[in-house]
């Protein structure tokens, strides 16, 4: 357990440093904006610097301040473990943004957008894969998804669409286009590392039905269906736990299965849509 937690924290730190490198070495100097709260922090930093001449208010400081109320929301509505690791990611990202210098490695906006997008996508992807997020819009989207039982992609698209428009207003129109390129690259990298599906279906064949069902419910509070099954080769009687979860819960599910029943057989498949009741917060 301790080793797994240490690995999780190490991955969060690596992801945070990669995000900071993408911003300070490629995106910020080129006025190409990242996605979510990071992009919003860049926009606010640009406004404070260019229009109010407040150069001490950096992207890292704004990112940290914006995530404080989001962390409180996540703690109450999303889950303590997920929120703790996500806020750790924000802390390390903000710190790395303050420590690393802001450089301009290239004057080519396309190179900055692509390389910044690749590095940021890799940082976010490994963070999501290990059961955390980079905070901000991910936590809000997860809360909305649980409360409204609707896909979170639309909400994230609205946020990123606003960032693209504002990028064009604050700078040249081509900055908006390169921001779109950077966001597309980031999304594709995240999808290749983690999963592009907002919800996935897990089918778990196990002998430890009660223990696994209790462990999953204690962590996720997800409904599930339990079906009797029999091994074709061994003829052993087992059960299959069938449940639908969000992409953010996939790491916790894998961890629970590993801890409770290492011999369980698990198949995780994409879920195109869910009709009927999918657990919501009151």
Using one digit for the tens of pLDDT, what is the confidence trace for 262-280?
Answer: 999 999 988 766 666 555 4
Per residue in 33-52, pLDDT tens? 998 899 999 999 999 988 88
Reported as a pLDDT band with limits 50, 70 and 90, residue 153 is: low
State the average pLDDT over residues 1-9.
79
Contact yes or no for 229/242 (Cβ under 8 A): no
In the prediction, which pLDDT does 281 show? 45
At 205, is the secondary structure helix, strand, or coil? strand
Q: Return the bridge partners of 245, or none.
A: 200
pLDDT at residue 7, rounded to an integer: 86
Mean pLDDT value across residues 197-225: 86
Question: How far apart are the C-alpha atoms of 110 and 275, rounded to whole Å?
Answer: 42
Confidence at residue 1, expressed as pLDDT on a 0 to 100 scale? 63
Residues 6 or more apart whose Cβ sits within 8 Å of residue 282: none
Residue 192 has what pLDDT? 82
Residue 125 C-alpha from the chain's centroid: 7
Residue whose entry in the numeric block shows the structure tokens 């690749």: 118
The yes-or-no verdict on residue 197 having pLDDT over 60 is no
Report residue 224 as tokens: 């599930």
Q: Using the predicted structure, report yes or no on whether residue 190 has a pLDDT greater than 90.
A: no
Report the percentage of the chain scoring pLDDT > 70. 89
From residue 122, alpha-carbon distances to 6, 8, 92 in Å are 20, 15, 16
pLDDT given for residue 150 in this prediction: 58
> What percentage of the chain exceeds 90 in pLDDT?
44
User: What per-residue confidence (pLDDT) applies to 97?
Assistant: 94
Higher pLDDT, 158 or 161: 161
Q: What is the mean pLDDT of the chain?
A: 86
Report the pLDDT value the prediction gives residue 196, as an integer from 0 to 100: 55
Q: Does 85 have pLDDT greater than 80?
A: yes
When pLDDT is cut at 50, 70 and 90, the band that residue 134 belongs to is confident
How many angstroms separate the CA atoms of 190 and 183, rounded?
Answer: 11
User: Tokens representing 236?
Assistant: 């052993």
Domains of the chain and CATH, by start: 2-193 (no CATH), 199-270 (3.30.70.120)
pLDDT given at position 148: 62
pLDDT band at residue 221 using 50, 70 and 90 as cut-offs: low
Q: What pLDDT, on the 0 to 100 scale, is given for residue 118?
A: 95
The better pLDDT of the pair 190, 60 is held by 60
CA angle, corner 172, sides to 168 and 177, nearest 5? 55
Distance CA 178, CA 112 (A): 9
Segment 231-245, tens digit of pLDDT: 888 889 999 999 988
Q: What is the mean pLDDT of residues 70-85?
A: 83
Predicted local distance difference test score (pLDDT) of residue 227: 94
């Amino acid at each position: 357990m301790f080793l797994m937690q240490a690995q999780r924290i190490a991955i969060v730190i690596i992801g945070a440093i990669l995000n900071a490198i993408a911003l300070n070495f490629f995106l910020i100097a080129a006025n190409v904006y990242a996605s979510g709260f990071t992009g919003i922090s860049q926009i606010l930093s640009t406004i404070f610097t260019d229009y109010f001449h407040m150069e001490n208010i950096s992207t890292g400081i704004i990112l940290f301040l914006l995530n404080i109320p989001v962390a409180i929301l996540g703690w109450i509505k999303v889950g303590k473990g997920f929120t703790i690791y996500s806020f750790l990611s924000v802390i390390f990202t903000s710190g790395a943004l303050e420590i690393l210098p802001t450089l301009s490695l290239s004057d080519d906006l396309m190179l900055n957008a692509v390389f910044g997008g690749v590095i940021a996508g890799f940082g976010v992807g490994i963070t999501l894969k290990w059961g955390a997020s980079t905070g901000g819009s991910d936590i809000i989207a997860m809360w909305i998804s649980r409360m409204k039982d609707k896909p979170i992609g639309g909400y994230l698209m609205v946020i990123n669409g606003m960032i693209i428009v504002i990028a064009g207003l604050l700078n040249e129109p081509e900055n908006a286009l390169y921001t779109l390129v950077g966001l597309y690259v980031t999304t594709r990298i995240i999808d290749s590392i983690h999963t592009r599906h907002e919800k996935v279906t897990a089918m778990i064949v196990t002998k430890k039905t009660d223990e696994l069902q209790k462990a999953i419910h204690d962590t996720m509070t997800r409904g599930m269906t339990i079906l009797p099954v029999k091994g074709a080769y061994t003829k052993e009687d087992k059960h299959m736990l069938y449940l639908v979860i969000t992409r953010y819960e996939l790491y916790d599910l894998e961890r629970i299965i590993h801890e409770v029943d290492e011999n369980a057989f698990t198949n995780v498949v994409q879920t195109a849509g869910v009709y009927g009741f999918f657990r919501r917060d009151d």
